[in-house]
Amino acid sequence: MDLHDTIVKQAETAKSASRRLAVLPSPIKNKALEAMACALEDGAALILEANAADLEAARAKKIKKSFLDRLMLDEGRIHSMAEGLRQTAALPDPVGEGEWETVRPNGIEIRRVKVPIGVIGIVYEARPNVTADAAALCMKSGNAVLLRGGSEALRSNRVISSLLAKAAYDAGIPEGALQFIDSDDREAVGEMMKLKGLLDVIIPRGGAGLIQRIVRESQVPVIETGAGICHTYVDEGADLDMAVRIAVNAKTSRPSVCNAMETLLVHEKEAKEFLPKVAAELRERKVELRGCERTRGVLSDIEAATEDDWSTEYDDLILSIRVVRDMDEAIEHINRYNTGHSETIVTRDIQRAHRFQREVDAAAVYVNASTRFTDGFEFGFGAEIGISTQKLHARGPMGLNELTSTKYLIYGEGQVR
Amino acid sequence: MDLHDTIVKQAETAKSASRRLAVLPSPIKNKALEAMACALEDGAALILEANAADLEAARAKKIKKSFLDRLMLDEGRIHSMAEGLRQTAALPDPVGEGEWETVRPNGIEIRRVKVPIGVIGIVYEARPNVTADAAALCMKSGNAVLLRGGSEALRSNRVISSLLAKAAYDAGIPEGALQFIDSDDREAVGEMMKLKGLLDVIIPRGGAGLIQRIVRESQVPVIETGAGICHTYVDEGADLDMAVRIAVNAKTSRPSVCNAMETLLVHEKEAKEFLPKVAAELRERKVELRGCERTRGVLSDIEAATEDDWSTEYDDLILSIRVVRDMDEAIEHINRYNTGHSETIVTRDIQRAHRFQREVDAAAVYVNASTRFTDGFEFGFGAEIGISTQKLHARGPMGLNELTSTKYLIYGEGQVR
């Protein structure tokens, strides 16, 4: 079979499995997740062997170090994947949960309940742990899943997914509910995007290039995730020590992730005192600073920020800084350049805090806290499939609830219209 | 300016207006809706004049009668549009409504509240009343809107939308929040589908061809609406009089709408008694019947249903009938041929009722009531922008709530991660 036929066949099997998976009781799903966790632990040697081969091939291609680090597995990381499966098993099952109900004047009773979405396609880069995480969330929420990981992790993903699928099936999950697209052909993603009617949604996880390609070309609905140009705005009268702490944390605690700060906005009245303070701390952590003209009036030795800087997600130890006249200018800047992810204001003024939260257009708008908290675990969801930066279906961190749709159940006694 | 530039410019203005509209207090939005209602009534003569010109042009093109009926306006219909605006004003404003909140162990407080989606594109056919209905729902939910109606209604829509936009602006709605795409060029829809980053969603209303074109080609997220291949399943032991009443209502009370029944499934044990009963009632209402082989064993004079019949939305006085061995076969038939809209079972058996609701995959699954109730007004939403047949974002009738997104608001006291 060629790639197209293979993938269509996989999706058809997944769709058929999804019907049975959707009505599977929680205890069976939970037992399956536990069995999947054990399967990873028992199969650790096999996984590590495959991973070593992936790593060797990647090294031969002179792929950069941070990439190799994400690709690499060891006993500890396999254990973490297994723990993730067990933690997901322990979360409440959203399926069947009532959202709303009413009795209409004609006597019909209407309830809206959560149901699985159906078949979910997950497209991700060469991070083998995503295979287990995504499988866990999809099984728990009653969704069949087609997994398509980055080609550099093909051998690792093949072993992990087949261990998971076998354990799931043996524990009562319908055959075909958890499938891996075993191809390093880039066109596999192209084929997935055409599976309208079989796939209910594609969730891409990874770099902006991958995500934008899928958003542009997919006929299957997409949930856009992950791009984060996040801002910290230091308001007039803010607690400057707090502002330094938040800015340094937002920039440096993990610069490669989407909830890290990329641009710092500072009220003009605070610039002279605040900028040298924050610059000292940031430089100590090797952050390269780029600034607008007024910033450079205070920090004379930094490079000029260009228009490009305001719209770049560095994902690195680089920060662009702009001095603004007032909060209007800060909000305007944010709404123009942000990606709708996370923004924060450091302020003592309650009215400006509220206005900032109301007028800034983003999934998560903070007052006096670091943007780094935008995360399914930090929000208490217990798990995360990604962070939606779009407004439809889900916005912000997506956990099990966001992997559900709804259904109206109506009872009557013969009513007609 | 060419079409492309004009539409991009309109969308940019709408996006900028949407920021201000999103934070407008309810009383201003409600006063604007009232003013818009008055503007339609005061401008009735202008609207009727434009509508007469549209009708004349359509008649010259020998367009069919049902189409002309939908295009036609009179004093009564203008009054209904105005009433719709007033009713929307009276509905609760969803914007700002809290959905969920928590305090995390580190002390940050997280709330999720409803916010407008942003800018909504509505693409519809030659029904001028949709111009007013869609404008009302979008303004009330704080969304800017780009309206694109069928070209045969261009003159009517031009007058209606300009009356509405002027009244809205005079009442405090930001300029550009309500815009009409004044072009009969088919490519206008093509241009809208490219407005990623400016339009947040396109909601197509109309025929399957229009909707499928947009789903296939749009780079802007789409909410699929309207296709309805709805089934009625008459279970073993059902109250056959109730079954006749429900089937006749579902098929004949308004055959052209999406929640009307297209296929009747009958348990083999009831076929002999039920089919002649229901056929007599349906024939009296001029319904053409087509049946499977076993149906024709009872109703010998009807045409054979082909494979095509099971997957056709007739929107007309035609019904396909199939006798099934058991409920398994009924559910399998439905899940294979339905469009995820509305399905009903007529039964006395509580277990089978529950199983039907659990296993049938559709937005609305009924027990002992007509599928015709799937409707925003019948569900008590007070209004409806369409009926979603997809699983993401919204499923089933969409009212004001479904025109919102969410935002996380987080308060801290300097927390970092």
Token couple for B325: 């061995």
H or E, element range at B138? helix B128-140
Token couple for A93: 């099952």
pLDDT tens sequence across A103-131: 999 999 999 999 999 999 999 988 999 99
Q: Are residues B343 and B399 in the same domain?
A: no
Of A201, A219, A405, the CB nearest to B395: A405
Token couple for B109: 């407080």
Contact at CB, B391 and A414, closer than 8 angstroms = no
- CA-wise closest residue to A136 among A39, A19, A252: A39
Question: Looking at residue B170, what is its pLDDT?
Answer: 98
Q: Would A284 be classed as within a structural domain?
A: yes
Judge whether B336 is closer than 8 Å to chain A, CB to CB: no
Chain A segment 156-185 residues within 8 A of B by beta carbon are: none
3-state helix, strand, coil split of chain B in percent (to 5) is 45, 20, 30
Q: Are residues A64 and A32 in the same domain?
A: yes
Q: Would B386 be classed as within a structural domain?
A: no
Judge whether B359 is closer than 8 Å to chain A, CB to CB: yes
Contact (Cβ atoms closer than 8 angstroms) between residue A151 and residue A128:
no
Contact at CB, B416 and A378, closer than 8 angstroms = no
Question: Looking at residue B1, what is its pLDDT?
Answer: 75
- CA-wise closest residue to B341 among A169, A407, A64, A43: A407
Question: Looking at residue A383, what is its pLDDT?
Answer: 82
Judge whether A200 is closer than 8 Å to chain B, CB to CB: yes
Contact (Cβ atoms closer than 8 angstroms) between residue B205 and residue B130:
yes
Measure the CA–CA gap between B72 and B56, rounded to whole angstroms: 10
Contact at CB, B411 and A369, closer than 8 angstroms = yes
Judge whether A104 is closer than 8 Å to chain B, CB to CB: yes
- Mapping DSSP to helix (H, G, I), strand (E, B) and coil, where does residue B53 land? helix
To the nearest whole percent, how much of chain A has pLDDT over 70? Answer: 100
Judge whether B103 is closer than 8 Å to chain A, CB to CB: no
- Mapping DSSP to helix (H, G, I), strand (E, B) and coil, where does residue B366 land? strand
pLDDT under 50: residue ranges of chain B: none
- Mapping DSSP to helix (H, G, I), strand (E, B) and coil, where does residue B261 land? strand
Mutation target among A200, A407, A411, A413 for the B interface, most CBs of B within 10 A: A407
Q: Which residues contact B385 (CB under 8 A, 6 or more apart)?
A: B122, B133, B134, B137, B203, B205, B376, B398, B399, B402, B403
Contact at CB, B379 and A223, closer than 8 angstroms = no
Mutation target among B222, B338, B391, B402 for the A interface, most CBs of A within 10 A: B391
Which CA distances in Å does B207 have to B66, B228, B229, B273, B313? 14, 11, 13, 37, 11
Q: Would A81 be classed as within a structural domain?
A: yes
Q: Would B383 be classed as within a structural domain?
A: no
Searching chain B, which residue's CA lies closest to the CA of residue A214?
B219
Least confident of A211-225, A239-253, A330-344, B326-340: A211-225
Parallel, antiparallel or unpaired: strands B342-346 and B364-369: parallel
Question: Looking at residue A65, what is its pLDDT?
Answer: 86
- Mapping DSSP to helix (H, G, I), strand (E, B) and coil, where does residue A304 land? strand
What does the pLDDT average to over A381-408?
95
CB contacts of B412 in chain A (<8 Å) are 366-370, 373
Question: Quick one: how far is CA B218 from the chain centroid?
Answer: 19
Of A23, A219, A253, the CB nearest to B417: A253
Q: Outline where B171-287 has alpha helix (H).
A: 187-193, 208-217, 240-252, 268-284
pLDDT tens sequence across A347-384: 999 999 999 999 999 999 999 999 999 999 999 998 89
Total structural domains within chain B: 2
Dihedral (Cα; B374, B379, B381, B387), 10-degree rounding: -10
Token couple for A380: 């208490």
Searching chain A, which residue's CA lies closest to the CA of residue B407?
A363
Judge whether B348 is closer than 8 Å to chain A, CB to CB: no
Searching chain A, which residue's CA lies closest to the CA of residue B193?
A216
Question: Looking at residue A151, what is its pLDDT?
Answer: 93
Q: Are residues B125 and B211 in the same domain?
A: yes
Measure the CA–CA gap between A403 and A95, rounded to whole angstroms: 10
The per-type count for chain B, helices as H runs and strands as E runs, is 15, 16
Burial B111-131 (b: 16+ CB within 10 A, else e): bbbbbbbbbbbbbbbbbbbbb
What is the gyration radius of the CA atoms in chain B, in angstroms?
Answer: 24
Contact at CB, B102 and A412, closer than 8 angstroms = no
pLDDT for residue A400 is more than 80: yes
Burial class (CB in 10 A: 0-12, 13-18, 19+), A414: middle
Q: Are residues A27 and A151 in the same domain?
A: yes
H or E, element range at A109? strand A109-116
Measure the CA–CA gap between B81 and B137, rounded to whole angstroms: 12
Contact (Cβ atoms closer than 8 angstroms) between residue A258 and residue A384:
no
Q: Are residues A46 and A23 in the same domain?
A: yes
Searching chain A, which residue's CA lies closest to the CA of residue B391?
A405
- The distance of B415 to chain A (nearest Cα, Å) reads 5
pLDDT for residue A63 is more than 90: no
What is the gyration radius of the CA atoms in chain A, in angstroms?
Answer: 24
Q: Are residues A141 and A210 in the same domain?
A: yes
Judge whether A411 is closer than 8 Å to chain B, CB to CB: yes
pLDDT for residue A1 is more than 80: no
CB contacts of A357 in chain B (<8 Å) are 409
CB contacts of A253 in chain B (<8 Å) are 416-417
- CA-wise closest residue to A150 among A119, A185, A104: A185
Question: Looking at residue B63, what is its pLDDT?
Answer: 86
- Across-strand partners of A35? none
- Mapping DSSP to helix (H, G, I), strand (E, B) and coil, where does residue A393 land? coil
CATH number at residue B316: 3.40.309.10
CB contacts of A23 in chain B (<8 Å) are 358-359
Contact at CB, B368 and A413, closer than 8 angstroms = yes
Q: Are residues A212 and A265 in the same domain?
A: no
Determine the residue type at A147: L
Question: Looking at residue B333, what is its pLDDT?
Answer: 98
Contact at CB, B363 and A408, closer than 8 angstroms = yes
Q: Would B318 be classed as within a structural domain?
A: yes
Question: Looking at residue A215, what is its pLDDT?
Answer: 87
Question: Looking at residue B66, what is its pLDDT?
Answer: 81
Contact at CB, A406 and B396, closer than 8 angstroms = yes
Q: Are residues B14 and B159 in the same domain?
A: yes
Contact (Cβ atoms closer than 8 angstroms) between residue A344 and residue A232:
yes
Contact (Cβ atoms closer than 8 angstroms) between residue A371 and residue B410:
no
Sheet holding B230-234, edge to edge: A98-103, A109-116, A404-415, B364-369, B342-346, B230-234, B261-267, B318-324, B288-291, B303-304
Measure the CA–CA gap between B262 and B356, rounded to whole angstroms: 18
Measure the CA–CA gap between B265 and B120, rounded to whole angstroms: 39
Judge whether B100 is closer than 8 Å to chain A, CB to CB: no
Of A200, A358, A416, the CB nearest to B391: A200
Contact (Cβ atoms closer than 8 angstroms) between residue B246 and residue A414:
yes
CB contacts of B117 in chain A (<8 Å) are 391-392
Mean pLDDT of all residues belonging to chain A: 96
Question: Looking at residue A168, what is its pLDDT?
Answer: 98
Question: Looking at residue B202, what is its pLDDT?
Answer: 96
Contact at CB, B215 and A200, closer than 8 angstroms = no
Q: Would B265 be classed as within a structural domain?
A: yes
Q: Would B317 be classed as within a structural domain?
A: yes
Mean pLDDT of all residues belonging to chain B: 96
Judge whether B66 is closer than 8 Å to chain A, CB to CB: no
Question: Looking at residue B215, what is its pLDDT?
Answer: 87
Token couple for B296: 């024709």
Q: Would B384 be classed as within a structural domain?
A: no
CB contacts of A416 in chain B (<8 Å) are 245-246, 248-250, 253, 369-370, 372
Contact at CB, A369 and B415, closer than 8 angstroms = yes
Question: Looking at residue B34, what is its pLDDT?
Answer: 98
Q: Are residues A253 and A341 in the same domain?
A: yes
Judge whether A208 is closer than 8 Å to chain B, CB to CB: no
Chain B segment 140-159 residues within 8 A of A by beta carbon are: none
Q: Are residues A19 and A133 in the same domain?
A: yes
How is residue A290 annotated by DSSP? E
Determine the residue type at B286: K
Measure the CA–CA gap between B50 and B154, rounded to whole angstroms: 9
Q: How confident is the model at residue A96 (pLDDT cuts 50, 70, 90)?
A: very high
CB contacts of B415 in chain A (<8 Å) are 368-370, 373
Burial class (CB in 10 A: 0-12, 13-18, 19+), A18: buried
- CA-wise closest residue to A49 among A126, A164, A160: A160
Q: Are residues A181 and A329 in the same domain?
A: no
Q: What is the DSSP string of B278-292?
A: HHHHHHHTT-EEEE-
Domain coverage including residue B98: 3-224+394-411
Write the Ramachandran bin of A296: left for phi over 0, alpha for psi from -120 to 50, otherwise beta. Answer: alpha
Which CA distances in Å does B350 have to A324, A337, B357, B361? 66, 56, 11, 19
Contact at CB, B392 and A393, closer than 8 angstroms = yes
Question: Looking at residue A208, what is its pLDDT?
Answer: 81
Question: Quick one: how far is CA B384 from the chain centroid?
Answer: 7
Token couple for A347: 């302020």
How many contacts (CB atoms, under 8 Å) link A and B?
Answer: 199
Chain A segment 264-323 residues within 8 A of B by beta carbon are: none
Of A353, A363, A367, the CB nearest to B407: A363
Q: Are residues B45 and B189 in the same domain?
A: yes
CATH number at residue A72: 3.40.605.10
Contact at CB, B361 and A392, closer than 8 angstroms = no
Least confident of A195-209, A272-286, B185-199, B205-219: B205-219
Measure the CA–CA gap between A358 and B95, rounded to whole angstroms: 11
- CA-wise closest residue to B131 among B182, B56, B96, B55: B182
Contact at CB, A358 and B110, closer than 8 angstroms = no
